[in-house]
Structures are given as structure tokens and as C-alpha cells.
Amino acid sequence: MRSAGRPGPGSVPGQVERGGPDGTGPAGGGGAMMRFMLLFSRQGKLRLQKWYLATSDKEKKKMVRELMQVVLARKPKMCSFLEWRDLKVVYKRYASLYFCCAIEGQDNELITLELIHRYVELLDKYFGSVCELDIIFNFEKAYFILDEFLMGGEIQDTSKKSVLKAIEQADLLQEEDESPRSVLEEMGLA
């Protein structure tokens, strides 16, 4: 009777699986490295959101609200990493803007922090000493840069030059806006 009833160590509930040494190693939930990325201001205004895992709108709103609250309540000297829900949140504040990424527990937090930094560098290079206003008024550009930098939640190109090249190439089209298509094709092929 006794042995049958004793709850085994495996039956422990509520345990968030870590990529621990006792188990299966860093086997994730099968998703990409990043779950979502948020940019929001110190006043709690969302400036940019990108979701790499299908999430319902309601859930998104709830998560954004909750996470903003948690992050904004953190003091400046505190750790840039957070355990939040079943995720790891990595955030960093640049001036008045918080950049915030959610990754899985066993992923590398520091490299994610640097990923944020690389994104900021890209924005900075593109806008030329970027500030929050640039992102407010040109958020679609910020999205384009992000899409060129991260694809499906994984880093796509670590070379700063080539990301910007791709963006600028697309931007150049703006001036050729009304020009005939064959020119565009040349641009693209160039």
C-alpha cells in the first residue's frame, strides 16, 4: 500500500521544466528562440509589438499589460532578466524606451540582451541617433528593420551592414515610386 501511494518525485506538479541537468537537456517547447518582442515607453505606452508564436488578441493584450506593469516596477539597478509566467523576459531601457524580449527558460539571456542592443544599434544607424520620437512616428520603419533582423523569432543576419543594405534598398524604391516597373526590377536585381 505504501509504495503504491507515495507520490514519486516525478509527479510533482507545478514545476516549470527547466533545461536542467536531471532531464532532457535544453529541449524546448519546440518553438523558435524568441516568443515576442515589445517596445514601450516609461509611461506604459506600447510602441512596437512583434509576436513570434500564435497568440490570441485577448491574451496578447493581457500579457502586454501585465508585463509592462512588472517591468516598469523594477528598479534601475536590478537584473535585466525576469522570470515571468513560464518565460524568461529580458529587458533593457534605452532612454525613455523599454525594449523587452520573451524567451524560453533555457535560452541564453545575455545573448538576447545583446540582440536588443544590436537592434538599437541598427535603429540608431538608420535614423541617425535614434530617439523615441523616431520610433513613434516611423514605427513601420522600425518594424521593417526588425523583420530584416529577426525572422521567425531567430536572428537572421548578424551583419549590421547587410541588414541596413536590405532596408535601404527597399527604401530607395520610395523615390522611384511612380516609375515603371522594369526599373524596379533592375533595382531589385542590382
CB 48 within 8 A of CB 39: yes
Q: Is 73 in the site for another protein (CB under 8 A)?
A: no
Q: Is 76 in the site for another protein (CB under 8 A)?
A: no
| Contact positions with another protein (CB under 8 A) in 151-180 | 151-152, 154-162, 166, 168-171, 173-174, 177
Q: Is 72 in the site for another protein (CB under 8 A)?
A: no
Q: Is 140 in the site for another protein (CB under 8 A)?
A: yes
Q: Is 102 in the site for another protein (CB under 8 A)?
A: no
CB burial readout 117-142, b (16+ within 10 A) else e: ebbbebbebbbeebebebbeebeebb
Query: If residue 46 lies in a helix (H) or strand (E), which one and from where to where?
Result: strand 46-51
Q: What is the smallest separation between the CB atom of 119 and another protein, expressed in angstroms?
A: 10
Query: If residue 89 lies in a helix (H) or strand (E), which one and from where to where?
Result: strand 87-94
Q: Is 183 in the site for another protein (CB under 8 A)?
A: no
User: Binding residue for another protein (CB under 8 A) from 34, 37, 67, 130?
Assistant: 130
| Contact positions with another protein (CB under 8 A) in 23-62 | 23-32, 41-43, 45-49, 52, 54-57, 61
In 73-108, where does DSSP find H-type helix?
none
Q: SS3 for 12?
A: coil
Q: Is 120 in the site for another protein (CB under 8 A)?
A: yes
